[in-house]
Amino acid sequence: MKRWHHGFMAWMAMSLAMSAWAQGSSTVRLVVPFATGGPTDIAARVIAPLLSEALGKTVIVDNRVGATGAIGAEFVARANPDGQTILFGTSSIMAANPALVAKLPYDPVNDFAPVGQVATIENILVVHPSVPASNVQEFIRHARDNPGKLFYGSSGMGSTYHLGAELFANQAKVQISHVPYKGQGPAAQDLLAGHLQLMFDAFNSAYPNIKAGRVKALGIASAKRHPDLPDLPTISEQGLNGYVTTIWLALFVPVKTPKPVIDKLNQALMGIMQQADVKDRFTKLGMQAAPLTPPELDQMLRKELAMWTRVVKENNIKAE
């Protein structure tokens, strides 16, 4: 009898949550913490109309820019937990920044509930053609022979590109020197010009330069090889076991959002990300559709937070 009572109460709570969701505002706000036109914004605009269709509500993309994503993230953390405000989060906002910045206005674990991962962007270790290495092991040998003399660029202190390079240096036991830029674009230009010897770059921006022979790709920083570069081994395959620094995009809601609402959102997202034409659109953007469930995303977030916190501590990295 007791069990039946608990079951009934749970069912009632679920029904109430879903009916409140159904009767709530007909507009859902998808908050992108970056400017329009960037990869996160473009990805959000691909899925927004499809989410609208799946949920029967109008999903609008709301760009709330500033403080390397903290403004948008805080806005969602403080929003009503009713499923009407969703954060389009990234690995930098949810895992790298919290590892680096002590006093963020949001907590990635305690202020948010994961909805699901959308897509991933693979990072590639690329070097200037003058670097005498055609794979990761040859590069490591070259770097050990030239401690501190090889320079790499990144989009800034504490970016996933910066932290990923430091993690690489730790695992490979090499000394490479960091040059922070205001964005990946200027860093890539300096690599092409030979002012830098190496960098970790996103697949979509590195690919054209690899194809044209302007840079050499030594390894991909993901768990498996990329379908567009099947002959390029992962860095993990080349002796740096478990080295993965993929950029990911995922949806989060305020922490007290009812589970039935989160499940409904995840169901809609999973359905969208499994459509062949959606996968194709993401591939053309240099991303891979990679849907995850809330528990899978939660596990990945916690693992990455621990990893970046360790990298920041071991390398004494300070936020700018």
Q: What are the tens digits of pLDDT across the range 134-179?
A: 999 999 999 999 999 999 999 888 888 999 999 999 999 999 999 9
Rounded-to-10 torsion of CA 63, 68, 69, 72: -60
CB 113 within 8 A of CB 253: yes
Please state, in angstroms and as integers, the Cα–Cα distance from residue 36 to each residue in 33, 269, 289, 296, following that order.
10, 22, 21, 29
Tokens found for residue 64: 């709330």
pLDDT at 35: 87
Which residues of the chain carry a pLDDT beneath 50? Answer: 11, 18, 21
What phi and psi, each to the nearest 5 degrees, are found at residue 70? -65, -30
Instruction: Decide: 204 and 286 in contact? Cβ < 8 Å.
Output: yes
What six digits make up the tokens of 256? 């007290």
Neighbours of 110 (CB within 10 A): 8
Domain ranges of the chain: 25-120+247-314, 123-220
Report yes or no: 74 and 106 within 8 Å, Cβ to Cβ. Answer: yes
Residue 225's identity, in one-letter code, is R
Phi and psi for 229 in degrees, rounded to 5? -135, 65
Burial (CB count within 10 angstroms: exposed 0-12, middle 13-18, buried 19+), residue 274: exposed
Given this chain, do its domains 25-120+247-314 and 123-220 carry the same CATH topology?
yes
> Taking a C-beta distance cutoff of 8 angstroms, is the pair 60, 116 a contact?
no
Supply the pTM of this predicted model: 0.86
- Residue range 25-120+247-314 forms a domain whose CATH class is alpha beta
Whole-angstrom distance between the N-terminal and C-terminal Cα of the chain?
Answer: 60
> How crowded is residue 54: how many other Cβ atoms within 10 Å of its Cβ?
18
pLDDT of residue 185: 87
Residue 66: per-residue pLDDT: 86
**Please, which residues bridge with residue 289 across strands?**
119
> Quick one: pLDDT at residue 36?
87
- Beta strands, E only, 134-278: 151-154, 177-180, 198-202, 216-220, 247-254
CATH code 3.30.70.1140 for 123-220: no
